[in-house]
Amino acid sequence: MPEKNGLLVQVSAPRENAGVLLFIASTAALYFELVIIRYLASEVRVFAYLKNMPLIASFFGIGLGMILGRPQSKHRRTLPVLAALLFLLIANASVIHLTHVPMPTIDYWQFTFASLPVSSLTLVYVLVVLYFLGLIIGLFVVLGGFVGEYLVELPQLRAYGVNLLGSLVGIALFTLLAFLYMPPWVWIMVGFLLLVPFFIRDYSSLAIFALVVPAVAVSQPQAMWSPYYRIALQEYPAPPGWSKPRGYVLSVDHDYFQKALDLSPDFLRENPTAEPNRTALPQYELPYRLLSHPPDDVLIVGAGTGNDVAAALRHGAGHIDAVEIDPLILEIGRRIHPEQPYASPRVTVHNDDARAFFKKTKKSYDLIIFGYLDSHTMMSAYSSVRLENNVYTLQSLREARRLLRPTGTMVLIFASGKSFVTTRLYHMLNAVFGVPPLTYWTGYDTAGVVFVEGKPTNLTAMTEFPEIGGGLQSGPGPVVLATDQWPFLFLARRRVPVSILFVLLSFIALVAILCRRTLQVRNFTNPEKLHMFFLGAGFLLLETKGVTELSLLFGATWVTNTVVISAFIVMAMAANVTIMLRSVSYRVAYSLLFLSLVLAGFFPYALLEGLPLLLRILAAGALTALPVFFSGLIFSRSFQRCTEPAQALGMNLLGAVVGGGLENLVMVGGIVVLGVMAIILYGIAAASLAVQERASIPQEAGVCGP
């Protein structure tokens, strides 16, 4: 295949298996994106706070690879080496002390990280992050080259449809493995099997693939993998004369998470000095010491392995609804908790997001407990919003209050210590209930704080823990409250954290250097390329906005994230099929796109909460997905007329890099910023198209014809 301006163009008949290979390459590219994002954040903890950076690096690598075209033989062979280096580094991050690389955490409160001043440690942090991002870019440049190589051998719209279908299968494949609790060595093995057709006669590369899988497997033989976490379990040995362990400590992603302890009267009577049982008991007794009689109905969100549930049972609760988002943590609690609370007929277990449960349940409760509900930074790859951020907003706390009976009590327990997070929670509860919460310092696990609202009836019993609410009422300035539009409980102020800015600016510099060395930068001013570029930037923001908004309605679960992204790909496929059957004018498509963006941006999604679940899903999905369909019409029509489709799709992915970077501005202006920026980016895309059509640029001059 000859070159034009240093880039590959199609002049020969396509190979018979080009469609199959394009499908496999597209599947592998999306699949490896998800594998790397999940695995890296679990093992190198800084990436839990920078989760969309590996996504952006993947997009950049694929886009660059597609623009460069078919990878030469020597470049193909770099993929197994880069994959081996990347996955072995991730698997052994704790051994080489990369799991908890110090990072500047001045304005972003983080579990298990000390706040460090900007210093030489910041340079180490940036270099480690850029090193991993560089490996990711190199890996995906080759994968993108595979996609581009076979993309040019098929008619444009057919090729784009195959690419989307492969991406959809990649999502489904990784989702299935996560659902089955498969460990990383299985993820990597499946990914390497997808790559075998591209290295079928390259025995040295196949040998590297074969060696990496067992090397990863032996590095962490005891870890368990849920859809959300890497989970490790350690047993507290039984005291002398006692037949069962006194408890277990559970860690997620190398950070302490929770304990499952025997706090039964029999155990403590026989072992009154056993630790951590003796110290933990008052923490779990506290909600019931506030009440003058046993509660009839108790709701526990963040039930975990079952300590809060066991406490409710010990104090005679009539019925307990226990809500926990992670299915494996629930399964572990059922299996190993010494008191076996989940086996009680008085307990109903709900594997769900707390916010989603608030919306679904029709019951009311005497006691609602938020039991150390935090995710330790678990986030979607497409959003800066943590898994539990949607639970700690004014709207969410109001929903919880709605479930309280008139004489009910709410107890919110959080390990926020003497931080701005404690102050923020105090003022949020004050705003929701109209009275300041009783706030107790327990110091449990070094940072335990308990907030009490509602109608506690036995305050005279609270003598063990100091009440600290008075000191939280006043502060140096106004407290920013977390809302559904700005759900950033752990962000001190409305700004992009310093730790993210350092990496983002450094990554932009790295991207600029790579583009300058590999691409004809002057061609980026071509209107056709700009059109495809800004379509990609806008689309990434639509994905982020969709994941964030639908998580408010249906919960920030892995199922929600997977369904939303899959739905977006399906809408893009539907738009592609529409253009294959009948052309739609740019004017009509852009008009409908901007109309749907405005509608989705200003529509009060809270109006949908009263609808039946199926209607709520359909209505919310339609509002979120319509802009994707109309933008897909524009993209598919433009892509149909491209003379160099691989470059066009590559430019689209490079635009997604910009969209991913701009996504961080949501921490300044809230979720509404995503919609505003999407409108601006699509406006620039429309302007680029107008310039292109007015100038009547010949097809030979650029990526796409007019």
pLDDT tens digits, one per residue of 674-704:
889 999 999 999 998 888 777 654 444 444 5
Q: Is the pLDDT of residue 244 over 90?
A: no
Separate counts of helices (H) and strands (E) for the chain: 24, 13
Q: Which amino acid is at 294?
A: P
Strand partners for 409: 367, 454
Minimum mean pLDDT among 32-36, 323-327, 364-368, 549-553: which range? 549-553
Q: Is the pLDDT of residue 496 over 60?
A: yes
Arithmetic mean of pLDDT, 45-58: 85
Give 59's pLDDT tier (boundaries 50, 70, 90). confident
Minimum mean pLDDT among 78-92, 398-412, 622-636: which range? 622-636
Alpha carbon distance 355, 326 (integer Å): 14
Give pLDDT, residue 313.
Answer: 97
Task: Give the residue, 692 or 265, on which the prediction is more confident.
Answer: 265
Give pLDDT, residue 270.
Answer: 92
**CATH 1.20.1250 for domain 15-224+491-701:** yes
Arithmetic mean of pLDDT, 46-69: 85
Rama region for 6: left / alpha / beta (φ>0; ψ in -120 to 50; rest) = left
pLDDT tens digits, one per residue of 266-281:
999 999 999 999 999 9
Q: What is the mean pLDDT of the chain?
A: 85
> For the chain, what percent of residues have pLDDT higher than 90?
46
Of 416, 451, 413, 414, which is closest to residue 433 (Cα–Cα)? Answer: 451
pLDDT tens digits, one per residue of 126-136:
889 999 999 99
Give pLDDT, residue 663.
Answer: 86
Minimum mean pLDDT among 41-45, 89-93, 131-135: which range? 41-45
pLDDT tens digits, one per residue of 161-214:
999 999 999 999 999 999 999 999 999 999 999 999 999 889 999 999 999 999
| CB-based burial label for 307 (10 Å; 0-12, 13-18, 19+) | buried
State the SS3 of 343-385.
HCCCEEEEECCHHHHHHHCCCCEEEEEEECCCCCCCECCCCCC
> For the chain, what percent of residues have pLDDT higher than 70?
87
Give pLDDT, residue 92.
Answer: 94
Residue 539: both structure tokens together: 């689309």
Which range among 12-16, 44-48, 73-77, 531-535 has the greatest average pLDDT? 531-535
Pairing label, strands 347-351, 319-324: parallel
Which SS3 state, helix, strand or coil, does residue 322 take? strand
| CATH fold for the domain made of 230-374+394-472 | Rossmann fold (3.40.50)
Minimum mean pLDDT among 43-52, 54-63, 332-341, 626-635: which range? 43-52
Q: Is the pLDDT of residue 112 over 60?
A: no
Q: Is the pLDDT of residue 560 over 90?
A: no
Cβ partners under 8 Å of residue 403, min gap 6: 299, 358, 361, 363, 364, 365, 368
Give 305's pLDDT tier (boundaries 50, 70, 90). very high
Following DSSP, what letter does each residue of 397-417 receive, concatenated?
Answer: HHHHHHTEEEEEEEEEEE--T
CB 688 within 8 A of CB 534: yes
Per DSSP, 196 falls in state G
Q: In the chain, where are the structural domains located? A: 15-224+491-701, 230-374+394-472
Alpha carbon distance 543, 677 (integer Å): 13
Give pLDDT, residue 203.
Answer: 92
Residue 29: both structure tokens together: 């590219």
Following DSSP, what letter does each residue of 472-522 receive, concatenated?
Answer: HS--SSPPPPP-SSS--TTBSSSS--HHHHHHHHHHHHHHHHHHHHHS-GG
Task: Give the residue, 621 or 206, on which the prediction is more confident.
Answer: 206
Which SS3 state, helix, strand or coil, does residue 555 take? coil
Phi, psi of 101 (to 5 degrees): -60, 130
Arithmetic mean of pLDDT, 625-636: 91
Residue keyed to tokens 């980026």:
524
Same fold for the domain at 15-224+491-701 and the one at 230-374+394-472? no
Give 241's pLDDT tier (boundaries 50, 70, 90). confident
Give pLDDT, residue 625.
Answer: 81
Give pLDDT, residue 448.
Answer: 87
Per DSSP, 460 falls in state G
Give 522's pLDDT tier (boundaries 50, 70, 90). very low
pLDDT tens digits, one per residue of 367-405:
999 988 876 555 444 455 555 678 899 999 999 999 999
Beta sheet of 438-441, edge-to-edge order = 347-351, 319-324, 297-301, 365-371, 404-414, 449-454, 438-441
